[in-house]
Structure 1
Amino acid sequence: MLSMIGLIGGLALLIFLTMRGMNLLIVGPISALFVALFSGMPLFPQLAEEGAANFVGNYMTGFSGFVTAWYLMFLLGAIFGKVMEDSGAADSVSEYIVGKFGMKYAVLAIVIACAVLTYGGVSLFVVAFSVYPMALSLFKQADLPRRFIPAALAFGSVTFTMTSAGSPEIQNWIPIEFLNTTPYAGWEVSLIVAVFMMVFGYWWLKRMITKAVAKGERFVSRESDPVNEKRTLPNPWMGLIPLLVVLVIAFVFHDSLKQSALIIALLGGVIATYVLNRKYFKNFWEAISEGTLGALIAIGNTAAVVGFGGVAKAVPAFQTAVEAMTNIPGSPLIGAAVAVSVIAGMTGSASGGQVIALPLLAPHYMDMGVNPEALHRVAAISSGALDSLPHNGYVVTTVRAICGESHQDAYNAVGAVTVIVPALGVVLAIILFSFGVGI
């Protein structure tokens, strides 16, 4: 009982303190300590039996493991975004889009840019780094409230593309190992759900922005923003080509190198930006330096939350919660969706929710005769719902480290398009599979 109180209380504390604007590098360990104390977990390795769970060991294993796996991707992603900004390539692309389509398509342009990169294989963790400079420029020219930039970036990255059939993102590939399916499992239902999520989510996002503008909100510049003085900009295609380079390289090497393909892809994007736009840079090496500092802050914030998940997964209450959710009565697809989504919410990770739930769900539901393609697609889509609660690493990184916003200002819109919209998509997928679509 105490362990469950600690688990729920620790998660609530993490979300509350995050929403209050506290530093994640402090909030993460404090919340994890709350979980550990209520579960009677030893605080230090020296106080635990050899190999047994302990607060410091589990927290730092989660923290350092994430940094080890993602540091180079964060670093190159942040640098890529900065060189796109410093060279004027991002501004050139944004001005071209506005000139062709008008200001009313500024938000759609950001969503599409994120969607193309995400579906093309660029990790959603670093897509925001690449697109943010263009988003900032577009919002400024269109005079839209900048607090909605995180929602636009997140909507294009972690909703209808991340978990769709054919997506190279890991959230679409994890079920393959447990269900012996393919990345295109349930593609008919996936296509319908993706279209629904894109149309409904974009309509909702635009509606929130329109209401804010009607109340008098406008774009407010900051001293830290890049100065858009009158300068000669590169040809828009010289700004688009580096994005295409990232997309193509990631696609070509994804099967052979998996997530390591992003290292080559992003490095290729940085090199392409420099080669094509070198005469337009204000200070190339300063951009590199600023990107490096930004990457360190971003990965530190994210790893702090991952460390919390490392402690939470080790307490008895977590296993009790997993067993309860995997035995929900009714349609197996409903049970699978709830289990994956809730566990993803607990750990603040879509992939974490799948990795923990599927080893238990897959054999159980496969023995019951559940269609593996339907289970694959429902597990993938549901992993992208509650994972985007305020403490999620991607949310923290995008809202704070990249966009410089507070959770109080930006999260309501982010939550609407990354939690509620995918949750509705899960419901639609289950209904369609129940009627035999795609089976």
Structure 2
Amino acid sequence: MGLLGILVGLGLLIWLAFRGWSVLLLAPAAALIAAAFAGEPLLASWTQIFMGTAARFLAQFFPLFLLGALFGKLMNDSGSVTAITDFMTARLGKARAVLAVVLAGALVTYGGVSLFVAFFVLVPMAQALFRAADIPRRLMPAAIILGTSTFTMTALPGTPAIQNAIPMPFFGTTPFAAPGLGLIASMIVLGSGLWWLRRAEAAARQSGEGYGTDAAAAPEVAAGDEMVRERATTAREFDPAEIAHGLSSPKPPPVLQAALPLIVVIAVNLVMSLLILPRLDVSFLAEERWGATSLSAVAGVWSVVVALAAAILVLVALHGSRLPSLRESMDAGANASVLPALSIASLVGFGAVIAGMPSFALVRDWVLTIGGGPLVSLAVATNVLAALTGSASGGLTIALDALGPTYMDLAAQLRIDPALLHRVAVIGSGTLDILPHNGAVVSLLALCGSSHRESYVDIIMVGIVSSLLALAAVIALGSLFGAF
């Protein structure tokens, strides 16, 4: 009965979440249904396991949600994201419209700008370029997904995305885990994705298909759609309802000033991870008052937090005069972090209830017996859970909460570098999460005025197939040569 309860609870969670119900309600309800089937004490399952695990997730990662959303909002309202996209448009132009959209998305998201902030700037940019180049409008979502939701989220070393931060406390790694493998994976995703988009563009030209007619929803309409909002807040770290709050600069800054905070994020993250934190005396962390933890468990989160905080200070110093209402923009950014953080924490709490049930041992044993070794089974686990939840961060945390210690034991036995586990887990979470019910996909299609029928095949090819190719390459290379 316990296994049936897991399936029923998970099925209800997926079905109702797809229909736009709030995860804040669904996750505890689905967890209690699963616990009831297993004969577990319901109140204890909710207050001691579900809430305890959700609270630990928030304690670990809410600073990243908060600073990431705040940084994204300030980058948007200062006009910095617009300045960068305008620069890419001018430099690459309509002759390389697809490349311009992909690279602009990659630049701003690797620099720490929240996904949904990037969407609201990239969609108008893509519309203008694709219309001028007469490229079918249906290819816009795939181009934006490739630049924002694939290699810059999971593969590029040092990315400040929450997905890259989640494995760090479990494996004692840094944001730059397995940098060589991450770069190879990024090149595979970018190369295969661009190849597919060029092929689709050429086929459209040959058949005489042009841009078509605009059918996009106004950004404020899409952002205010409750269905879009509920799905979006489990996908990334920004509540799209806050995008319209605050005031934006009427004039964007020079591009170098606009890009400087992005450079600060990457540079400070690198310096903190490789130079400063390893040299600090943090023996006090072993004391109970500091959580009886270790530097390896917190260093990754600390480095990203400091990088985002430094970038925010630089941004305000450079562009404070361009922010018409700094307080309103900061309030909106802070508020934008809350619902996504609570939504993902609720998914994590659900996973903890499931993982604590005796029948979950059957699932764990099945995962660990998948052929190909620990790297393959870890990739399968993160893929499946990210696919079921429609959330890379939610699926990844559930998988590592349930199986992280087991994989660390296996790594010690088989002499597998935890950095390799980190990179496989993160890339694995960013593949099948891009299924039709994924909040980022639903939101982007609404913004582009497109449908699943028109655009989803191209999203599959650039977002899922290219990432699976990169994941396979990382597993193969990591099995042969270890982490590098």
State the TM-score, normalized to the length of structure 2.
Answer: 0.69
Instruction: Give the direction of change, closer, same or farther, for the CA distance of 1:217–1:383 in structure 2 (3 Å limit).
Output: same
Displacement after TM superposition at 1:335 (Å): 4.3
Match of 2:2, SS?
A: helix
Structure 2 vs 1, CA of residues 421 and 267 (structure 1 numbering), >3 Å: closer, same or farther?
same
How is 1:164-203 mapped onto 2 (pairs within 5 angstroms)?
Answer: 169-170=164-165, 183-184=177-178, 187=180, 191-203=183-195
Map of 1:411-422 to 2, 5 A cutoff?
412=456, 417-422=462-467
Separation in structure 1 between the aligned mates of residue 4 and residue 89 of structure 2, nearest angstrom: 52
CA 401–293 in structure 1, closer or farther in 2 if over 3 Å, else same: farther
1:392-437 CA deviation, whole Å, 9 max, x = no partner?
xxx54x568999879x957957666554433333334455677889
- Aligned twin of 2:64: 73
* Structure 2 unaligned spans of 5+: 132-136, 222-242, 278-298
Cα distance in 1 for residues equivalent to 2:338 and 2:411: 42
- Of 303-312 and 223-232, deviating more is 223-232
Q: Does the 8 Å CA contact 2:83/2:254 hold for their aligned counterparts?
A: yes
Partners of 1:163 and 1:384 within 8 A in 2: no
Letter in 1 for 2:428: S
Which residue type is aligned with residue 81 of structure 2?
A: A
- Aligned pair partner of 2:48 in 53, 57, 68: 57
Kindly state the Cα deviation for residue 386 of structure 1 after the two structures are TM-superposed: 4.3
CA contact (8 A) 1:29 1:308 kept: yes
Provide closer, same or farther for how the CA distance between residues 152 and 208 of structure 1 changes in structure 2, counting only shifts above 3 A: farther
Question: Aligned ranges for residues 277-288 of structure 1 at < 5 Å?
Answer: 277-288=319-330
Contact kept? 1:32, 1:308, Cα under 8 Å: yes
1:22 maps to a residue whose letter is: W
Matched residue, 1:350:
396
Between 340-349 and 252-261, the greater mean CA deviation after superposition:
340-349
How far does the alpha carbon of each residue in 1:30-70 deviate from its partner, in whole angstroms, 9 at most, with x for none?
2222222222221113xxxxxxxx13322212322222222
Is residue 323 of structure 1 aligned with residue 342 of structure 2? no
Between Structure 1 and Structure 2, how many residues are aligned? 411
Deviation at 1:379, TM superposition (A): 5.3
Which residue of structure 2 aligns with residue 232 of structure 1? 251
Q: Aligned partner of 2:267: which letter?
A: V
CA distance in 2, matches of 1:69, 1:434: 31
1:262 to 304, 310, 323: 304
Task: Quote the offset at 1:333 in angstroms.
Answer: 5.1
The correspondence for 2:264, drawn from 245, 251, 263, is 245
Residues 313/92 of structure 1: CA separation in 2 closer, same or farther (3 Å cut)? same
- The 2-side partners of 1:376 and 1:285 are apart by 37
CA distance in 1: counterparts of 2:301 and 2:27, whole angstroms: 26
> In 1, distance between residues paired with 2:314 and 2:331?
18
1:124-179 Cα distance to aligned partner (Å, 9 max, x none): xx642664454245235436577665664212433432799xx993467578659x
Verify the 8 A CA contact 2:424 2:474 in the aligned structure 1.
yes
Structure 1: which 5+ residue stretches go unaligned?
46-53
Pair 1:311 & 2:303 matched: no
Residue type at the aligned position of 1:279: S
RMSD: 4.4
Q: How does 1:126-137 map to 2 (within 5 A)?
A: 127-128=114-115, 131-132=118-119, 134-137=121-124
Equivalent residue for 1:426, pick from 435, 450, 471: 471
The letter of the residue matching 2:319 is N
Q: How does 1:15-414 map to 2 (within 5 A)?
A: 15-45=14-44, 54-103=45-94, 104=97, 105-114=99-108, 116-117=110-111, 127-128=114-115, 131-132=118-119, 134-142=121-129, 149=144, 152-161=147-156, 169-170=164-165, 183-184=177-178, 187=180, 191-204=183-196, 216=213, 218-223=215-220, 231-255=250-274, 256=277, 257-329=299-371, 334-339=376-381, 341-342=383-384, 348-354=394-400, 356-357=402-403, 359-361=405-407, 363=409, 378=424, 381-386=427-432, 396=439, 398=440, 412=456
Q: Distance in 2 between matches of 1:80 and 1:402?
A: 21
State the shift of 1:322 in Å: 0.8
TM-score normalised according to structure 1 size: 0.75
In structure 2, the CA distance between the partners of 1:12 and 1:420, relative to structure 1 (3 Å rule), is farther
After superposition, the Cα gap between the structure-2 partners of 1:23 and 1:56, relative to the gap in structure 1 and judged at 3 Å, is same
Q: Do the aligned partners of residues 438 and 325 (structure 1) sit closer, same or farther apart at CA in structure 2, a change above 3 Å counting?
A: closer
The letter for the 1-side match of 2:54 is F
- How far, CA to CA, are the matches of 2:218 and 2:34 in structure 1? 41
Hey, what's the Cα distance between the residues in 2 that align with 1:233 and 1:359?
Answer: 48
Cα separation, 1, equivalents of 2:300 and 2:420:
25
Partner of 2:235: none
| CA distance in 2: counterparts of 1:193 and 1:301, whole angstroms | 29
Tell me how far 1:240 sits from its aligned partner: 0.7
Q: CA 1:316–1:163 in structure 2 vs 1: closer, same or farther (change >3 Å)? A: farther
Counterpart of 1:270, as a letter, is I
How far apart in 2 are the matches of 1:389 and 1:61? 30
Q: For residues 86 and 381 of structure 1, do their structure 2 counterparts lie closer, same or farther at Cα, with a shift above 3 Å needed?
A: closer
Tell me how far 1:5 sits from its aligned partner: 1.6
Residue 161 of structure 1 aligns to which amino acid in structure 2?
A: L
Residue 321 of structure 1, CA deviation: 0.6
> C-alpha displacement at 1:97, in angstroms?
1.3
Counterpart CA distance in 2 for 1:82 and 1:352 is 28
Task: Report the Cα distance in structure 2 between the residues aligned to 1:338 and 1:287, rounded to whole angstroms.
Answer: 40
Q: Aligned partners of 1:229 and 1:141: how far apart in 2?
A: 21
Distance 1:301 1:389, change over 3 A: farther
Q: Quick one: which amino acid aligns to residue 310 of structure 1?
A: A
Residue 10 (structure 2) pairs with residue 11 (structure 1): yes
* Letter paired with 2:326: F
| Corresponding residue of 1:49 | none
* Residue type of the alignment partner of 2:272: F
Aligned CA distance change for structure 1 residues 20 and 71 (closer, same or farther; 3 Å): same
- CA apart distance, 1:74: 1.8
